[in-house]
């Protein structure tokens, strides 16, 4: 489970870097993840094997359609968990940090319940 969570974090980060800079360089991935470049390179290799990412010589890392779709789902799940935590009184900065752990373990059923709660909360 932890390996899946880590892959999801990498995919989400790569998606964010592509949105910000047009590509995700391994050096930037390593810096943002707080790991050494060889560790980031190894993770990117795994993403490539899983069909979630591609890379080009002298360019960055890019997500495949499947990888981009996963990044969107992970990002949406993260936003929902953060919104729920804030709605129940958790300070925003703490909610962001706590969501990083929770988002990978929340079931689809719980996520739907969170969304339903938030929809009624906003009304």
pTM given for the model: 0.85
Cα four-point dihedral sign 123, 69, 33, 57: negative
Tokens of 76: 């949406």
Domains and CATH numbers, the chain: 2-64 (1.10.10.10), 70-122 (1.10.60.10)
What is the pLDDT, as a whole number, of residue 83?
95
pLDDT digits (tens, 9 = 90+) for 19-64: 999 989 999 999 999 999 999 999 999 999 999 999 888 889 999 9
Please tell me whether residue 59 adopts helix, strand or coil conformation. coil
Compute the distance between CA of residue 123 and CA of residue 116 in angstroms, rounded to an integer: 11
The confidence band for 123, taking pLDDT boundaries of 50, 70 and 90, is low
Q: Provide, rounded to the nearest whole percent, the portion of the chain with pLDDT above 90.
A: 78
> Helix 92-102 crosses helix 65-87 at what angle (to 10 degrees)?
130
């Amino acid at each position: 489970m932890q390996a899946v969570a880590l892959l999801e974090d990498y995919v989400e980060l790569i998606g964010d870097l592509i949105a910000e800079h047009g590509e995700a360089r391994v050096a930037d991935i390593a810096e943002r993840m707080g790991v050494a470049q060889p560790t980031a390179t190894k993770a990117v290799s795994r993403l490539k094997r899983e069909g979630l990412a591609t890379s080009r010589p002298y360019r960055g890392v890019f997500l495949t359609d499947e990888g981009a779709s996963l990044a969107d789902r992970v990002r949406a799940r993260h936003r929902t968990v953060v919104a729920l935590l804030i709605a129940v009184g958790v300070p925003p900065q703490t909610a962001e940090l706590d969501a990083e752990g929770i988002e990978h373990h929340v079931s689809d059923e719980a996520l739907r319940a969170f969304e339903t709660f938030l929809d009624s909360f906003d009304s």
